[in-house]
Structure 1
Amino acid sequence: MRLLVLGGTEFVGRAVVEAAVARGWWVTVLNRGRNTVTQTGVVSLRGDRLAADGLAALDGLSFDAVVDTWSGEPSAVAAAASTVSATSYAYVSSRSVYAWPAPAGAAESAPLVDPSDDVADYAGIKRAGELAAVEHFGDRALLVRAGLILGPYENVGRLPWWLRRVARGGDVLAPGPASLPLQYVDARDLAEWTLDALAAGLGGPVNLVSPSGHATMSTLLTACVTATGADARLRWAPPRVILDAGVEPWTDLPVWLPPGEMHDAMHTSDVSRALGTGLRCRPVEETVADTWAWLRSIGGVAPQRPDRPPVGLDPDAEAAILTELR
């Protein structure tokens, strides 16, 4: 397979490149050159997708498949989809394209948001990106509607924050209930499934996350304790205690959403199509351990996407809640 990855140096794009190289595919990446492509044998081209001639480096080239991880202006997706010579096009979209709040158990047929070109409207620009891919590739456009993505190279900071917090040791505020089911996908599992789907000629939208309950808050945080080897004690707090303290779910305490409408929308989607087309999800313990190993290899500080705010709970706020629990 001749694969073009638009991006290819960070998180999901990097995982896709590594997986394709491991398969022996011919891989070309196009990006702005802010980061270095580390894989041997990958053809690295330069181009700013927001510039008028940003795709000029692809002139005269053709590919079996394209993977596009762009999350900015949808005009860049439209430009690439209309310009690149390829058989199929995988656009890494988001489950955010579903009208909020998505009902529990929502499948790919759930109501969608309206498309937008306003970069402040993440859901809208992702939907516009989907439509751009479909306009030019039709049923050969694969819409990878990822949910929460974790794993090595994460540049949003969710799992890295938990790992660093647990590594500090002591009492750690653990948002309950401990059995709360989670739904996420390791970036490497997303990459493998996407490449398999492209090779098989699969198209259309697919919710790409694990089955709900593949991990729980307890198994995730326990895996953090095990991986770091820290002298950390998980102190479980009921959701109401956390919410009454003014803590913001998802941002102050990454990954966690209290039981109810928000949790149902993010952690209970129907993934029958993904599973039926070969999605395999590695154990949460492997995702956590590999992310910790990666963090340690880069000095413990994960890269941060400039378009995403930092996440994590203020230590003083955590200490106040822990005192109340005691």
Structure 2
Amino acid sequence: MRLLVLGGTSFVGRAIVEDALRTGAEVTLFGRGRTNPDLFPHLTRLIGDRATGDYSALRAGSWDAVADVSGYVPRHVRQAMDALGDRVGRYLFISSHAVYESAGLAPGSDEDTPRRAPVRDTEELSEATYGPLKVACEDDVLARYGTRATLVRPGKVAGPHDSMDTFTYWVRRAARGGRVALPADPAQPVQVVDSRDLARLVVRLLTDGRPGAFQAVGPAEPTTLGELIETCARAAGTEIEIVPVPPEGAPRRFPLVRPDRPTQQRSAARARAAGMPATPLAVTAADVLAWDRARGEPPLPFGYTPEEELAALAARMTAPAPPTP
């Protein structure tokens, strides 16, 4: 398979390229050449810029498939498709679980859940616009390529080389052991999919020529936020005690804490049937821990600092006991 990857050197794109190469695919990368420029030195790199609309490098050549990992607004996708035309066999777009209407996300919801209304009048990515912009991108890919279009909607992705570091926070915190402050309900459902499972799904869908939409969610067994943290501790060989603390005073952004989002119990049945594997959460945690330590555990931009966590735990211990019913 001759595969073109639009953005293939950061996290999800990197995992897709690695899996495609493992299967013997001939891979070409398109991007600015700024992210991990020394990665995949033997591959052909076509230099362009989606922000400025520079797709001139795509106006020659042909591929069996394209994996669009870096399309976030309709213009990105439209201009890429205009440049490629019919010189690609299948167009696979990496979308998001944010395309769905939250009102329709009951436990076990599938790919036919109603989507949000598309947005095309802005390119500003925010909590309110991210999902609707992805909906517009999906619509454009389907309109252009029809049965040659494939949509993959990942949930929260975890794994080595994670540029967001949300799962990494809990892996690192659990590895320290001791009392863990959690400004949320430990029973909150949570879903994370291993980046390598997502990549395997993408390559399988392209190899098999499968159209349609697929939810890339995991792990294989339903889990909660508390169970996820405990799994991370077991992977690190540490003992922890999870201490729920009031969310008031917690940092603005706290990894995987989304009590208002019923998006953490979606069905992976269609993706599993198409060949998406299910890496055990403990394996994902151990691999992320090893990667994080190898890179020197740089500071993370969210969650508690050690000092903030100690203060939250101390406040929890001195808080008055709730009244007896």
Band of TM-score, shorter chain: 0.7 to 0.9
Query: SS state of the match for residue 266, structure 1?
Result: coil
Q: Does the 8 A contact of 2:157 with 2:195 survive in 1?
A: yes
Instruction: Report the Cα offset of residue 164 of structure 1.
Output: 3.0
Instruction: Find the counterpart in structure 2 of residue 49 from structure 1.
Output: 50
Q: Say whether residues 1:318 and 2:309 are aligned partners.
A: yes
Instruction: Find the counterpart in structure 1 of residue 117 from structure 2.
Output: 114
Instruction: Report the Cα offset of residue 315 of structure 1.
Output: 4.6
Match of 2:284 among 278, 287, 290: 287
Q: Which moved more, 1:292-301 or 1:141-150?
A: 292-301
Q: Does the 8 A contact of 2:118 with 2:136 survive in 1?
A: yes
TM-score, with structure 1 as normaliser: 0.85
Deviation per CA, 1:267-321: give whole Å up to 9, x if none: 111222112222211000111111111112222128x8xxxxx431355553343
Q: Does the 8 A contact of 2:183 with 2:250 survive in 1?
A: no
Distance 1:203 1:236 in 2: 45
Instruction: Find the counterpart in structure 2 of residue 307 from structure 1.
Output: none
Q: Trace 1:195-234 onto structure 2 (pairs within 5 A).
A: 195-210=203-218, 213-229=221-237, 233-234=240-241
Q: Does the 8 A contact of 2:219 with 2:279 survive in 1?
A: no
Distance 1:184 1:224 in 2: 13
> Could you tell me which amino acid in structure 2 is paired with residue 183 of structure 1?
Q
Instruction: Find the counterpart in structure 1 of residue 243 from structure 2.
Output: 236
Instruction: Report the Cα offset of residue 109 of structure 1.
Output: 1.6
Task: From the superposition, tell whether residues 216 and 147 of structure 1 become closer, same or farther in structure 2 (CA, over 3 Å).
Answer: same
Number of matched residues?
308
Match of 2:195 among 173, 177, 187: 187
Instruction: Report the Cα offset of residue 129 of structure 1.
Output: 1.3
Q: Say whether residues 1:98 and 2:106 are aligned partners.
A: no
Q: Say whether residues 1:124 and 2:116 are aligned partners.
A: no
Q: Which moved more, 1:135-144 or 1:168-177?
A: 168-177
Task: From the superposition, tell whether residues 235 and 50 of structure 1 become closer, same or farther in structure 2 (CA, over 3 Å).
Answer: closer
Distance 1:92 1:162 in 2: 26
Q: Does the 8 A contact of 1:178 with 1:216 survive in 2?
A: yes
> Could you tell me which amino acid in structure 2 is paired with residue 242 of structure 1?
P
Task: From the superposition, tell whether residues 224 and 270 of structure 1 become closer, same or farther in structure 2 (CA, over 3 Å).
Answer: closer
Q: Trace 1:261-272 onto structure 2 (pairs within 5 A).
A: 262=261, 265-272=262-269
Please give the root-mean-square deviation of Cα atoms over the aligned residues, in Å: 2.4
Distance 1:32 1:296 in 2: 29
Unpaired runs of 5+ residues, structure 1, are: 305-309
Q: Does the 8 A contact of 2:191 with 2:264 survive in 1?
A: yes
Distance 1:178 1:266 in 2: 16
Q: Does the 8 A contact of 1:66 with 1:89 survive in 2?
A: yes
Task: From the superposition, tell whether residues 235 and 210 of structure 1 become closer, same or farther in structure 2 (CA, over 3 Å).
Answer: closer
Instruction: Report the Cα offset of residue 113 of structure 1.
Output: 1.2
Task: From the superposition, tell whether residues 47 and 282 of structure 1 become closer, same or farther in structure 2 (CA, over 3 Å).
Answer: same
Instruction: Report the Cα offset of residue 62 of structure 1.
Output: 0.5
Q: Does the 8 A contact of 1:7 with 1:70 survive in 2?
A: yes
Q: Which moved more, 1:149-158 or 1:163-172?
A: 163-172
Instruction: Report the Cα offset of residue 135 of structure 1.
Output: 1.9
Instruction: Report the Cα offset of residue 212 of structure 1.
Output: 7.1
Q: Does the 8 A contact of 1:30 with 1:46 survive in 2?
A: yes
Structure 1: 4+ residue segments shifted above 6 A: none
Task: From the superposition, tell whether residues 229 and 210 of structure 1 become closer, same or farther in structure 2 (CA, over 3 Å).
Answer: closer
Instruction: Find the counterpart in structure 2 of residue 300 from structure 1.
Output: 297
Q: State percent identity of aligned pairs.
A: 35
Instruction: Report the Cα offset of residue 79 of structure 1.
Output: 1.0
Query: SS state of the match for residue 236, structure 1?
Result: strand
Instruction: Report the Cα offset of residue 114 of structure 1.
Output: 1.6
Instruction: Find the counterpart in structure 2 of residue 38 from structure 1.
Output: 39
Task: From the superposition, tell whether residues 273 and 141 of structure 1 become closer, same or farther in structure 2 (CA, over 3 Å).
Answer: same
Distance 1:175 1:58 in 2: 47
Q: Does the 8 A contact of 1:8 with 1:37 survive in 2?
A: no
> Could you tell me which amino acid in structure 2 is paired with residue 30 of structure 1?
F
Q: Which moved more, 1:274-283 or 1:86-95?
A: 274-283
Instruction: Find the counterpart in structure 1 of residue 323 from structure 2.
Output: none
Distance 1:213 1:192 in 2: 19
Deviation per CA, 1:70-90: give whole Å up to 9, x if none: 243320111112322200011
Instruction: Find the counterpart in structure 1 of residue 69 from structure 2.
Output: 69
Distance 1:30 1:14 in 2: 12
Q: Say whether residues 1:143 and 2:151 are aligned partners.
A: yes
Unpaired runs of 5+ residues, structure 2, are: 318-325
